[in-house]
Homo-oligomer: A and B are copies of this chain.
Protein backbone atom coordinates (compact mmCIF):
# COMPACT_ATOMS: atom_id res chain seq x y z
CA UNK A 1 0.00 0.00 0.00
CA UNK A 2 2.66 2.55 0.88
CA UNK A 3 4.63 1.38 -2.11
CA UNK A 4 1.76 2.41 -4.31
CA UNK A 5 2.46 5.98 -3.29
CA UNK A 6 6.22 5.79 -3.02
CA UNK A 7 7.16 6.40 -6.63
CA UNK A 8 4.22 8.73 -7.12
CA UNK A 9 4.17 12.47 -7.71
CA UNK A 10 6.58 14.73 -5.89
CA UNK A 11 5.35 15.94 -2.51
CA UNK A 12 4.48 12.61 -1.02
CA UNK A 13 6.47 11.49 2.00
CA UNK A 14 9.63 9.52 1.63
CA UNK A 15 8.96 5.95 2.74
CA UNK A 16 12.56 5.60 3.83
CA UNK A 17 11.90 7.98 6.69
CA UNK A 18 8.90 6.14 7.94
CA UNK A 19 9.10 5.06 11.56
CA UNK A 20 9.05 1.31 11.69
CA UNK A 21 7.81 1.37 15.25
CA UNK A 22 4.80 3.52 14.39
CA UNK A 23 4.13 1.52 11.24
CA UNK A 24 3.95 -1.77 13.10
CA UNK A 25 2.01 -0.28 15.98
CA UNK A 26 -0.64 1.05 13.61
CA UNK A 27 -1.10 -2.21 11.74
CA UNK A 28 -1.19 -4.18 14.98
CA UNK A 29 -3.69 -1.82 16.55
CA UNK A 30 -5.85 -1.96 13.44
CA UNK A 31 -5.73 -5.73 13.37
CA UNK A 32 -6.57 -6.01 17.06
CA UNK A 33 -9.46 -3.59 16.96
CA UNK A 34 -10.77 -5.19 13.81
CA UNK A 35 -10.88 -8.61 15.38
CA UNK A 36 -12.49 -7.28 18.53
CA UNK A 37 -15.11 -4.96 17.08
CA UNK A 38 -15.27 -5.32 13.32
CA UNK A 39 -14.57 -2.77 10.63
CA UNK A 40 -17.70 -0.65 10.91
CA UNK A 41 -17.31 -0.14 14.63
CA UNK A 42 -13.80 1.25 14.72
CA UNK A 43 -12.44 4.68 13.91
CA UNK A 44 -9.10 6.14 12.95
CA UNK A 45 -8.99 7.89 16.31
CA UNK A 46 -9.26 4.56 18.04
CA UNK A 47 -6.50 3.05 15.94
CA UNK A 48 -4.25 6.03 16.68
CA UNK A 49 -5.01 5.91 20.39
CA UNK A 50 -4.42 2.18 20.64
CA UNK A 51 -1.22 2.42 18.61
CA UNK A 52 0.03 5.33 20.69
CA UNK A 53 0.42 7.29 17.51
CA UNK A 54 -0.66 10.67 16.22
CA UNK A 55 -3.55 10.63 13.81
CA UNK A 56 -1.48 12.47 11.26
CA UNK A 57 0.99 9.60 11.19
CA UNK A 58 -1.80 7.38 9.96
CA UNK A 59 -3.01 9.82 7.35
CA UNK A 60 0.55 10.40 6.19
CA UNK A 61 0.84 6.83 4.95
CA UNK A 62 -2.74 5.74 4.27
CA UNK A 63 -5.65 7.64 2.77
CA UNK A 64 -8.28 6.34 5.20
CA UNK A 65 -9.36 3.71 7.66
CA UNK A 66 -10.19 1.14 5.00
CA UNK A 67 -6.70 1.27 3.54
CA UNK A 68 -5.08 0.72 6.93
CA UNK A 69 -7.30 -2.20 7.73
CA UNK A 70 -6.82 -3.67 4.31
CA UNK A 71 -3.07 -3.58 4.66
CA UNK A 72 -3.23 -4.83 8.24
CA UNK A 73 -5.07 -7.96 7.25
CA UNK A 74 -4.07 -8.14 3.65
CA UNK A 75 -0.44 -8.81 4.40
CA UNK A 76 -1.32 -12.20 5.79
CA UNK A 77 -4.38 -12.89 3.65
CA UNK A 78 -2.54 -12.67 0.37
CA UNK A 79 0.53 -14.16 1.98
CA UNK A 80 0.83 -17.24 -0.10
CA UNK A 81 -2.06 -19.16 -1.44
CA UNK A 82 -0.42 -22.51 -2.18
CA UNK A 83 -0.87 -24.07 -5.60
CA UNK A 84 -2.20 -27.53 -4.85
CA UNK A 85 -1.07 -30.47 -6.91
CA UNK A 86 -3.22 -33.49 -6.25
CA UNK A 87 -2.64 -34.95 -9.67
CA UNK A 88 -6.04 -34.04 -11.15
CA UNK A 89 -7.85 -30.77 -11.73
CA UNK A 90 -10.81 -32.19 -9.85
CA UNK A 91 -8.70 -32.64 -6.75
CA UNK A 92 -6.93 -29.34 -7.20
CA UNK A 93 -10.13 -27.37 -7.68
CA UNK A 94 -11.76 -29.09 -4.74
CA UNK A 95 -8.79 -28.23 -2.56
CA UNK A 96 -8.88 -24.59 -3.65
CA UNK A 97 -12.62 -24.21 -3.27
CA UNK A 98 -12.67 -25.84 0.12
CA UNK A 99 -9.79 -23.74 1.32
CA UNK A 100 -11.33 -20.47 0.15
CA UNK A 101 -14.77 -21.32 1.52
CA UNK A 102 -13.20 -22.16 4.83
CA UNK A 103 -11.19 -18.95 4.87
CA UNK A 104 -14.23 -16.86 4.07
CA UNK A 105 -16.51 -18.53 6.55
CA UNK A 106 -14.23 -19.20 9.49
CA UNK A 107 -11.20 -16.96 9.60
CA UNK A 108 -10.51 -13.38 10.56
CA UNK A 109 -9.22 -12.70 7.08
CA UNK A 110 -12.53 -13.90 5.67
CA UNK A 111 -14.47 -11.60 7.95
CA UNK A 112 -12.34 -8.69 6.84
CA UNK A 113 -12.76 -9.59 3.20
CA UNK A 114 -16.51 -9.51 3.64
CA UNK A 115 -16.62 -6.42 5.83
CA UNK A 116 -14.55 -4.43 3.37
CA UNK A 117 -16.57 -5.26 0.27
CA UNK A 118 -18.78 -2.24 0.94
CA UNK A 119 -15.82 0.15 0.86
CA UNK A 120 -14.87 -1.11 -2.54
CA UNK A 121 -18.20 0.03 -3.94
CA UNK A 122 -17.49 3.74 -3.60
CA UNK A 123 -13.74 4.05 -3.81
CA UNK A 124 -12.04 2.94 -7.01
CA UNK A 125 -8.53 3.14 -5.62
CA UNK A 126 -9.48 1.04 -2.65
CA UNK A 127 -11.31 -1.42 -4.89
CA UNK A 128 -8.12 -1.94 -6.87
CA UNK A 129 -6.10 -2.71 -3.74
CA UNK A 130 -8.88 -4.90 -2.40
CA UNK A 131 -8.95 -6.98 -5.56
CA UNK A 132 -5.19 -7.30 -5.51
CA UNK A 133 -5.41 -8.98 -2.14
CA UNK A 134 -8.65 -10.89 -2.11
CA UNK A 135 -9.32 -11.65 -5.75
CA UNK A 136 -6.35 -11.63 -8.04
CA UNK A 137 -4.00 -13.80 -6.00
CA UNK A 138 -6.47 -16.63 -5.67
CA UNK A 139 -7.56 -16.40 -9.26
CA UNK A 140 -3.97 -16.78 -10.37
CA UNK A 141 -3.78 -20.10 -8.57
CA UNK A 142 -6.90 -21.40 -10.25
CA UNK A 143 -5.72 -20.21 -13.62
CA UNK A 144 -2.43 -21.99 -13.11
CA UNK A 145 -4.22 -25.18 -12.19
CA UNK A 146 -6.51 -24.92 -15.19
CA UNK A 147 -3.66 -24.23 -17.57
CA UNK A 148 -1.75 -27.16 -16.25
CA UNK A 149 -4.89 -29.28 -16.66
CA UNK A 150 -5.27 -28.14 -20.23
CA UNK A 151 -1.65 -28.96 -20.93
CA UNK A 152 -2.22 -32.35 -19.43
CA UNK A 153 -5.24 -32.82 -21.69
CA UNK A 154 -7.80 -32.78 -18.89
CA UNK A 155 -9.54 -29.61 -20.01
CA UNK A 156 -11.35 -28.82 -23.21
CA UNK A 157 -9.58 -26.32 -25.42
CA UNK A 158 -12.65 -24.22 -26.13
CA UNK A 159 -13.04 -23.28 -22.47
CA UNK A 160 -12.40 -19.70 -21.43
CA UNK A 161 -10.27 -20.17 -18.37
CA UNK A 162 -11.17 -16.75 -16.96
CA UNK A 163 -14.84 -17.65 -17.11
CA UNK A 164 -14.11 -21.00 -15.56
CA UNK A 165 -12.37 -19.30 -12.67
CA UNK A 166 -15.43 -17.14 -12.08
CA UNK A 167 -17.60 -20.25 -11.99
CA UNK A 168 -15.48 -21.68 -9.21
CA UNK A 169 -15.25 -18.64 -6.94
CA UNK A 170 -18.58 -17.05 -7.78
CA UNK A 171 -20.84 -19.37 -5.82
CA UNK A 172 -18.56 -19.19 -2.80
CA UNK A 173 -18.46 -15.38 -2.75
CA UNK A 174 -22.20 -15.35 -3.32
CA UNK A 175 -22.95 -17.44 -0.25
CA UNK A 176 -20.29 -15.69 1.79
CA UNK A 177 -21.70 -12.25 1.09
CA UNK A 178 -25.43 -12.81 1.05
CA UNK A 179 -25.49 -15.53 3.68
CA UNK A 180 -28.65 -16.98 2.26
CA UNK A 181 -27.28 -20.41 3.13
CA UNK A 182 -24.27 -21.72 5.01
CA UNK A 183 -20.93 -21.94 3.27
CA UNK A 184 -20.07 -25.59 3.83
CA UNK A 185 -17.26 -27.78 2.67
CA UNK A 186 -19.81 -29.89 0.80
CA UNK A 187 -21.01 -26.84 -1.06
CA UNK A 188 -17.49 -25.82 -2.02
CA UNK A 189 -16.79 -29.28 -3.27
CA UNK A 190 -20.01 -29.29 -5.30
CA UNK A 191 -18.95 -26.06 -6.97
CA UNK A 192 -15.56 -27.53 -7.84
CA UNK A 193 -17.12 -30.70 -9.17
CA UNK A 194 -19.67 -28.94 -11.29
CA UNK A 195 -16.94 -26.86 -12.86
CA UNK A 196 -14.74 -29.88 -13.38
CA UNK A 197 -17.58 -31.79 -15.06
CA UNK A 198 -18.38 -28.87 -17.28
CA UNK A 199 -14.87 -28.32 -18.57
CA UNK A 200 -13.52 -31.85 -18.60
CA UNK A 201 -12.34 -33.15 -21.95
CA UNK A 202 -13.77 -36.54 -21.28
CA UNK A 203 -16.34 -36.87 -18.61
Question: How many residues on A have C-beta within 8 angstroms of the other chain's C-beta atoms?
Answer: 43
Taking a contact as CB atoms under 8 Å apart, the answer to whether A117 and B121 are in contact is yes
Binds B, one of A54-62, A88-96, A131-139, A147-155: A131-139
Q: Is the CB of A167 within 8 A of B166?
A: no
Overall SS of chain A's interface: helix
As a 0/1 sequence over residues 45 to 64 of chain A, the CB contacts with chain B under 8 angstroms (1 = contact) are 00000000000000000000
Would you call A16 an interface residue if the criterion is a C-beta within 8 Å of the partner chain's C-beta atoms? no
B121, B136, B162: the one contacting A115 at CB < 8 Å is: B121
- Out of B139, B171, B179, which one reaches A167, CB within 8 Å? B171
CB neighbours (8 Å) of A127 from chain B are 179
Is B171 touching A177 in the complex (CB atoms < 8 A)?
A: no
Question: In the assembly, what is the distance between CA of A132 and CA of B181, in Å?
Answer: 13
Which residues of B are found within 8 Å of A173, using beta-carbon distances?
Answer: 170, 173-174, 177-178
Cβ A174 vs Cβ B166 within 8 A: yes
With an 8 A cutoff between CB atoms, is A35 at the interface? no
Tell me the minimal C-beta distance from A132 to chain B in angstroms.
10
Indicate if the CB atoms of A131 and B180 lie closer than 8 Å. yes
Which residues of the partner chain B approach A166 to less than 8 Å between Cβ atoms?
171, 174-175, 181, 187, 191
Q: Is A15 an interface residue (CB 8 A)?
A: no
- CB pair A120–B178 under 8 Å, yes or no, is yes
Q: Is A108 an interface residue (CB 8 A)?
A: no
**Docked complex: A144-203 residues within 8 A CB-CB of B:** 160, 162-163, 166-167, 169-175, 177-181, 187, 190-191, 194-195, 197-198
- Please name all residues of chain B whose beta carbon is closer than 8 Å to the beta carbon of A175 when the two chains form the complex: 166, 170
B131/A179 in contact, CB under 8 A: yes
A8 CB, min distance to chain B CBs, angstroms: 22
A residues with a Cβ closer than 8 A to B are: 38-41, 114-115, 117-122, 127, 130-131, 134-136, 139, 160, 162-163, 166-167, 169-175, 177-181, 187, 190-191, 194-195, 197-198
